[in-house]
Amino acid sequence: MHKGVWCSIATAWIGFKRINTTSGSFITPMFGAELGDGKAVFSLWAPDISEAKLKILGGLEYQMEKKETGWFKLSADGIGERALYFFVVDGKSIPDPASKYQPNGIHGPSALVSPDYPWSDGEWEGLDKEQLVIYEIHTGTFSPEGTFSGIASKLDYLRNLGVTAIELMPVSQFPGSRGWGYDGVYPFAVQNSYGGPTALKSLVDAAHRAHLGVILDVVYNHVGPEANYMQSLGPYFSKKYRSPWGLSFNFDDSGCDEVRRMVLENLQFWIRDFHIDGFRLDAVQAIVDNSPRHILEDIADTVHREGKLVIAESDLNDPRIVNSKELCGYGIDSQWLDDFHHSIHSLLTGERAGYYSDFGSLAHLVKSYQKAFVYDGQYSTFRKKTHGSPVDPQGCRFIVYIQNHDQVGNRGSGDRLSTILDTQGYMLAGAASILSGYIPMLFMGEEYGERNPFYYFSDFSDPQLIEGVREGRRRENSQVNDPQSESTFLASKLSWVQDQSVMSFYRELLKARKVYMGGCHGSRNLTWGEGWFTVAIDELYTIYALFDTPVEIAQAGTLLVASNSSFPEIIGTGRVRIKKGVGVYKISG
């Protein structure tokens, strides 16, 4: 190992001056190397170590200066974009935990990345929450290329479909070249196999030009088990709390100021350097914080200060997630509504295993339309506890879906709803979510009835971990296909074999939502009987028949779109026999 010269160009820690800030309200970043004004400033928060060096690959080694609260800093001239570096700690070369690019993967050197990019999205109007229709994408399986540029060619298609934002499953550098992304270990680095940071900027730029927003799935509840270099450097992780998936970030104990700051800077980084429009926070139930101010509150404030959106995945059925601060909440814009999914899935498929055991009747679905949380204080047999608390079911507070990466991929067989339901049932489900008055989310390929499975897959390198993941997926999800095998990943790619009848139906549903519903709605008028229900929202009246059955119609209306021809063109109050399917009417009179 090159022992280096204590370099004369290493200067004292200078205060960072931000470049390229548009809104001016960002906090000064501390985490990660910064390029600008002809110099590079390296930073490492490592209070548990006494000495650190910077090693430029093919260059020199610099002794870093340790500052208060555990910061090592070094400012150096003459080091440009894409320069590769390691930190040297205890004689070992490690990547920068706040790396902005890992061109050779999780164990390789970190690369300097310029914050500059020739953005051409000046006319992007920003997300309109009322008109939000989200399309969830796994970058690796969406296109044959499995990259950000593979998404770019479909942007116009998505916009024409009626989608208003794409939501990318996590893109922070994760182990290997394929994976769902939830085991990332570099919050600031964009996955190399997806194309890295510049390709992501290019995708966001293109999406904005196509009038599509970009929501990013971010994981602050744990870090992945492989290549966690943070652990030995300082109190990045909680000693008190443990997530089901691994170490939890330390948001409330000694050293937590820096960890909280890292998360908030991370959000700002995506907004500032990548023009990201919103965030989906992974599994917030596993973000435990006993501080007077919960980190979720800080997250919501940070995102809102930049005029962006924040969505939570939560299985707590806790109104605090979406409640305003005045109502003791965290002020997050919206949360995923699993209860809606479980209600419609169990009702249409008849499945009752696992968490579906808590659902299955039409009454569950009706309650989810009316109250959002089906469990808002009732005993859950699956959870073996009383679950949830009542919430104000404002429409834009909840994201509903009939499929998402979890609901498909955590089925051992990865089978999509298109292969479980008949076409009438599938269209019915699609309408139920799109015309729910909540914010609909589609899982990639859903709009055309994609039939390829979506499995869990990974590309770890540690043999013990690989075996553990295999065993875990086998035991807990009955997944037969080896998650670690490339063929499992390849089998999960979209076929793009499109069922045109499904696709045009989805297009009509999205148009109906936009034109006749105008956005989210807080109240939904439902009627229901044996095998049917109707939902009236704004100018729309939708009739759902779970099987061939007489339906009591309570509105007059004219047909906009139906899944089969048993739905009359004109309806009035009274009883009509209808075949399984869904018909969407414009209310008249």
**291 belongs to the binding site for a second copy (CB under 8 A):** yes
User: CB under 8 A: which stretch of 50-58, 112-120, 290-298, 364-372 binds a second copy?
Assistant: 290-298
Compute the least distance from the CB of residue 376 to a second copy, in Å: 9
Tell me how far apart the alpha carbons of residues 208 and 201 are, in angstroms, rounded to a whole number. 11
Q: Is the dihedral of CA 368, 373, 377, 378 positive or negative?
A: positive
Q: Please select the residue that binds a second copy; options are 383, 451, 514, 579, rule is CB under 8 A.
A: 383
Convert 235-252 to b/e letters by CB count within 10 Å (16 or more is b).
bbbbeebebebbbbbbbb
**2 belongs to the binding site for a second copy (CB under 8 A):** no
Active site residue 313: yes
User: CB under 8 A: which stretch of 7-15, 89-97, 343-351, 377-385 binds a second copy?
Assistant: 377-385
User: CB under 8 A: which stretch of 239-247, 301-309, 415-423, 448-456 binds a second copy?
Assistant: 239-247
Q: Residue 306, by phi and psi: left (phi above 0), alpha (psi -120 to 50) or beta? A: alpha
The residue among 120 and 386 lying less far from a second copy, judged by its C-beta, is: 386
Q: Please select the residue that binds a second copy; options are 116, 156, 257, 471, rule is CB under 8 A.
A: 257
Compute the least distance from the CB of residue 382 to a second copy, in Å: 9
Q: Please select the residue that binds a second copy; options are 379, 478, 523, 574, rule is CB under 8 A.
A: 379
**157 belongs to the binding site for a second copy (CB under 8 A):** no
Map residue 115 onto helix, strand or coil. Answer: coil
- Helix axis angle for 196-209 and 256-274, nearest 10°, is 60
The residue among 374 and 417 lying less far from a second copy, judged by its C-beta, is: 374
The residue among 241 and 457 lying less far from a second copy, judged by its C-beta, is: 241
Q: Please select the residue that binds a second copy; options are 11, 193, 198, 389, rule is CB under 8 A.
A: 389
Q: Residue 379, by phi and psi: left (phi above 0), alpha (psi -120 to 50) or beta? A: beta
Backbone angles phi and psi of 205, in degrees to 5:
-60, -45
**293 belongs to the binding site for a second copy (CB under 8 A):** yes
Among the listed residues 61, 217, 306, 313, the single catalytic one is: 313
The residue among 316 and 491 lying less far from a second copy, judged by its C-beta, is: 316
**50 belongs to the binding site for a second copy (CB under 8 A):** no
**388 belongs to the binding site for a second copy (CB under 8 A):** yes
CB-based contacts of 155, cutoff 8 Å, min separation 6: 166, 206, 207, 210, 212
Tokens of 397: 């507070």
How many CB atoms lie under 10 A from the CB of residue 323? 17
Residues between 439 and 458 with contacts to a second copy, criterion CB under 8 A: none
Tell me how far apart the alpha carbons of residues 72 and 56 are, in angstroms, rounded to a whole number. 16
Candidates 145, 178, 194, 236; CA nearest to 461 is: 178
Candidates 151, 134, 155, 133; CA nearest to 142 is: 151
Tell me how far apart the alpha carbons of residues 111 and 121 are, in angstroms, rounded to a whole number. 26
What string marks each residue from 309 to 348 as x (binds a second copy by CB under 8 A) or -?
-------xxxxx-------x--------------------
**518 belongs to the binding site for a second copy (CB under 8 A):** no
**89 belongs to the binding site for a second copy (CB under 8 A):** no
Amino acid at 189: A
Residue count, binding to a second copy (CB under 8 A): 33
Yes or no: say if 40 and 229 are a contact pair by the CB < 8 Å rule. no
Residues between 198 and 237 with contacts to a second copy, criterion CB under 8 A: 235
**475 belongs to the binding site for a second copy (CB under 8 A):** no
Facing residues of 263 across strands?
none
The residue among 2 and 240 lying less far from a second copy, judged by its C-beta, is: 240
**378 belongs to the binding site for a second copy (CB under 8 A):** no
Q: Please select the residue that binds a second copy; options are 28, 120, 386, 523, rule is CB under 8 A.
A: 386
Compute the least distance from the CB of residue 319 to a second copy, in Å: 7
Among the listed residues 61, 183, 277, 282, the single catalytic one is: 282
Q: What is the 3-state secondary structure (H, E, C) of 17-61?
A: CCCCCCCCCCCCCCCCCEEECCEEEEEEECCCCCCCEEEECCCCE
The residue among 150 and 319 lying less far from a second copy, judged by its C-beta, is: 319
Yes or no: say if 219 and 166 are a contact pair by the CB < 8 Å rule. no
Compute the least distance from the CB of residue 373 to a second copy, in Å: 10
Tell me how far apart the alpha carbons of residues 427 and 285 are, in angstroms, rounded to a whole number. 32
**67 belongs to the binding site for a second copy (CB under 8 A):** no
Active site residue 282: yes
Q: Please select the residue that binds a second copy; options are 166, 189, 200, 288, rule is CB under 8 A.
A: 288
Compute the least distance from the CB of residue 242 to a second copy, in Å: 6
Q: Please select the residue that binds a second copy; options are 104, 153, 160, 254, rule is CB under 8 A.
A: 254
Yes or no: say if 95 and 110 are a contact pair by the CB < 8 Å rule. yes
Compute the least distance from the CB of residue 111 to a second copy, in Å: 32
537's enclosing H/E stretch is strand 532-537
Yes or no: say if 380 and 386 are a contact pair by the CB < 8 Å rule. yes
Query: How many CA within 13 A on the CB side of residue 379?
Result: 2
Q: Please select the residue that binds a second copy; options are 24, 50, 125, 384, rule is CB under 8 A.
A: 384
Q: Which residues contact a second copy by CB under 8 A?
A: 47, 69, 235, 239-243, 252-257, 285, 288, 290-293, 316-320, 328, 379, 383-386, 388-389
The residues assigned a catalytic role are 282, 313
